[in-house]
Structure 1
Amino acid sequence: MEFLPTSPEKPDLLALQLVAFAPLGFPMIATGFVFARDGLSLLEHGFHLDQLAAAGVR
């Protein structure tokens, strides 16, 4: 199941998303990541990416 994760600035909403989708039992694929000019700004949000990875999101 593809979904658009909330922004890294809203960690509580991401947690709610992951809890809501978990019972569905489908593999989750995160879409919609936009890279900034430097292309690396998303990497500054390690906790956000760690939450996605811990939930099994690809």
Structure 2
Amino acid sequence: MRLMTNNPMKYGGLEGFGLDITDRVPIQSSPTAQNIDYLRTKQQRMGHLLEGLDDVVG
């Protein structure tokens, strides 16, 4: 199965139920000044795999 997520815990959790994850497809969106702090928190505290956050000033 291809899993669409930025959350590595979902990947590991589903594998723990015996599901065969063959690929992780990142969910990409453009960070904005309004959501950059929220996205950085998800990245730093929960390990979400997010790209392009350094390009936005927040």
TM range (shorter): 0.3 to 0.5
TM-score, scaled to structure 2: 0.37
TM-score, scaled to structure 1: 0.37
